[in-house]
Structure 1
Amino acid sequence: MTGPDRRSLLKALVATLAGLSVGGVSTPAAASADASESWTTQTLEAFADTLIPGRRRFAGDVAVAGAVTGPGAVQAGVVDLLRSPELPVAPLLPEIAALLDARAVTYAALRLIWLPPTHPPFVGLSFSDRTALVGGLFDPDDLDRPIWQVMSLLVGLAFDTAGQQDTVEALGQGHPGLTWLRFPEPDPDGLWRFPDFSYGRPLAALHPNTTASGSPA
């Protein structure tokens, strides 16, 4: 691959995950305003839509294949998460998208699939071909497998946890992923409490030195 080497990409991706683990990140207000204009963005959207597909956003939407009727990772704001200026992966997105597009060109050439020149190569593939290509990215002997593994985690975070937003704020705005998953609302003070044990009973007695926040002493 050209541009930053695999080690640099992986370091940036892992640092991104670390940044998300400490809370939501802010995203620029115009982050998605020009989403349909960028080939990089279209490729990233198509990748995310292959992992967590959703309905098309508008007539002629080429990045989102429309394989299902519900919301997917794109509707859940995956591109906003990836493009946040607070995350180190943002500057490397063109290289990651270019790597995926290069794989799409090879995939299409081996199968005599015509790719329209008006769209990025990966976007030009049908949903079934996108799925087959992405599945191969996770083969154990694929050199770039760690990159796609971390990228897939980021896609999941956008849909499953609204990692690009404060959770309370995301729920209040009707975040597509959290709403689809029926993520529980917090208590009136904005905190989540779970009075019912998942097994119907506590698994161990509370240590007497446990702090009020639930942390071990």
Structure 2
Amino acid sequence: MLWADDLVSPDPLHRRGLLKALVATAVFMTAAPLAALPAETASALGSWNTQTLEAFADTLIPGQQRYAGDAPIAGAVTGPGAVQAGAVQVLASPQLPLAPWLPGIASLLDTHALAWAATHLLLLPPTRPAFVGLPFNHRTALVAGLFDSDEPDRPVWQVLALLVGLAFDTAAHLSTTTAITRGHPGLAWIDFPAADADGLWRFPQHSYNRPLADLHPHTTPSGSPA
């Protein structure tokens, strides 16, 4: 079993500490949204680690390449993916306890990629991280295996996948109004509606085209029960 505490990083990683960070990250994301983050937030990770995390995010929610030769994004589909939606900014948020562990997690993913390449007789380019160097179909197969029930590091990948999904589906690193104004690619892709003129969201069309229950006569004007 290769865990993050077998890797080299400025602060040695320990399994218990990483598990605590994963739990705290999941709890935080269910309790409150992230504040707006500057675009350069992820730069502290370094280019090598950022590329690996971008490739992981692109494997989960693929997108088109940002420019010719964009190695982390495989370009498997057209349209925006997790990277364009700010996945690495969410992962690297200083508000999350997971951020200090990301270099070790990226190294762990690259170690998996090296082992995968060796067993599948793949030649990886030395000028980019190992996971980034894998063809997209091999990235996908490797990542699928990381979620197997017998994978010891499964909690790591589950939390990362949760954050990647939140970046695309909810623009977790931005307020919703800011994300809509900026044309956040994930919200635009899922046709998230704009707010009403007063900045509030209302949904007059119910999912069954009718209210699910009659309004209680003592309900207050704010919608609270009497």
Structure 2 Cα separation of the partners of residues 143 and 211 of structure 1: 51
Segment of structure 1 superposing worse, 176-185 or 19-28:
19-28
Instruction: Return closer, same or farther for 1:102/1:188 CA change in 2, 3 Å cut-off.
Output: same
- Structure 1 residue 211: deviation in Å? 4.8
Indicate which of 25, 28, 33 corresponds to 1:23.
33
Instruction: Return closer, same or farther for 1:88/1:208 CA change in 2, 3 Å cut-off.
Output: farther
Cα deviation digits, residues 52-104 of structure 1 (max 9, x gap): 00011111111111111110000001111111211111111001111111111
Q: What TM-score results when the alignment is normalised by the length of structure 1?
A: 0.91
Instruction: Return closer, same or farther for 1:213/1:157 CA change in 2, 3 Å cut-off.
Output: farther
Structure 2 Cα separation of the partners of residues 174 and 123 of structure 1: 28
Structure 2 Cα separation of the partners of residues 44 and 190 of structure 1: 34
Name the structure 1 match of 2:94. Answer: 85
Q: For 1:29-108, list aligned pairs within 5 A.
A: 29-31=39-41, 38-108=47-117
The aligned length equals: 216
- Structure 2 portions without partners, runs of 5+: 6-11
Q: What TM-score results when the alignment is normalised by the length of structure 2?
A: 0.88
Instruction: Return closer, same or farther for 1:211/1:158 CA change in 2, 3 Å cut-off.
Output: farther
Amino acid at match of 2:80: P
Amino acid at match of 2:64: R
- Structure 1 residue 212: deviation in Å? 4.4
1:175 aligns with 2:184: yes
- Structure 1 residue 210: deviation in Å? 4.3
Name the structure 1 match of 2:9. Answer: none
Indicate which of 111, 114, 129 corresponds to 2:120.
111
Contact 1:26–1:84 (CA under 8 A) maintained in structure 2? no
Cα deviation digits, residues 98-135 of structure 1 (max 9, x gap): 11111111111111111111111101100000000000
- Structure 1 residue 19: deviation in Å? 2.9
Question: Stretches of 4+ moved more than 4 A in 1?
Answer: 32-35, 208-213
Contact 1:6–1:144 (CA under 8 A) maintained in structure 2? no
Instruction: Return closer, same or farther for 1:191/1:108 CA change in 2, 3 Å cut-off.
Output: same
Structure 2 Cα separation of the partners of residues 104 and 209 of structure 1: 61
- Structure 1 portions without partners, runs of 5+: none
